[in-house]
Amino acid sequence: MGNTESAVLSVIVPTLDEASGITACLERLVGQESIDEIVVVDNGSTDGTREIVAELAALHPKIELLDEPNPGVAHARNLGFDKARGDYLGRIDADTLVAPDWGATVCEHLDANPGTMAVTGISTYHDSPIGVFLAAAIGAQERLGLIKDQPVGNVHGANMAIRRSAWQQVQEATTTRRDLHEDLDLALCLSKAKLRIDQLPRLRAQISARRRKTPPSVWWQYQVHGLRTIANQGYRVVPFHRAVITGAWLMHTAQWPIYRVWDFNRKRFSLRSGRPRVSPIGD
């Protein structure tokens, strides 16, 4: 097993009704030597997700399946963080496909930078009909030096890792409210504790674009949850924050007509393309 002479890396994967994609997600993790443990925390699936994970766990000793009855991704994440044995705690979504060197990138950076308490990476889409434009925009920002190794104030819950020691330091300050963004909340707690978060452009993952099917009116409320998260941690919401969520909402609204008729299961346009999903855990 990997990491025999260094820190142990555990990856936590919260799940809720992810039968269609959980196998691909876990297959990206089990073959990486740097990943020692994969903790799947099921949050009440009824579509066969648990059975699929249990079958994979029987084949791969790295995988452990846990159940969290309290609804919400924060509860599932917290159980995984607490039960995992890793010194480093990775965190991805159940529809995330990590790069082949994802685990090694986490371990190498945290091993070499003891002052860094958490890392977050760059994510593109694996199932979007227009995902090439996001990838191109990220590439352009990298060439301009706008995306680079640097301290940041947020983490992307679908592509991140944190030291266990940092989690233990901020755990009591985090929230489990479902109307708040758990990853932003965690980042704010880390920042308040003056614990460094590094952005790593080489920490790559592909995520699902399925949340882009969410109607703009619902998406606006989802974005407002970000402002509520900031205020809940005692920070003042300023015009810059409102400008950021307004820009994100306008971008979502412009893309929504395309995703509205995109079938994520069959990877083709269809007038019968299924219901939207706002977040990996709960709607």
pLDDT digits (tens, 9 = 90+) for 45-61: 999 999 999 999 999 99
Q: What is the pLDDT of residue 272?
A: 77
182 pLDDT more than 90:
yes
pLDDT in tens, 134-154: 999 999 999 999 999 999 999
Which of residues 170 and 278 earns the better pLDDT score? 170
Is 62:28 a contact under the CB 8 Å cutoff?
Answer: no
pLDDT in tens, 72-108: 999 999 999 999 999 999 999 999 999 999 999 999 9
pTM: 0.94
Mean pLDDT of 242-264: 96
Q: What is the pLDDT of residue 276?
A: 58
Please enumerate in sequence order all residues whose Cβ is within 8 A of that of 15, keeping only pairs 6 or more positions apart, or say none.
22, 40, 41, 42, 43, 45, 49, 53, 76, 94, 280, 281
126 pLDDT more than 90:
yes
Domains of the chain plus CATH, in order, are 9-209 (3.90.550.10), 212-269 (no CATH)
pLDDT in tens, 166-181: 999 999 999 999 999 9
The C-alpha atoms of residue 26 and residue 96 are separated, in whole angstroms, by 9
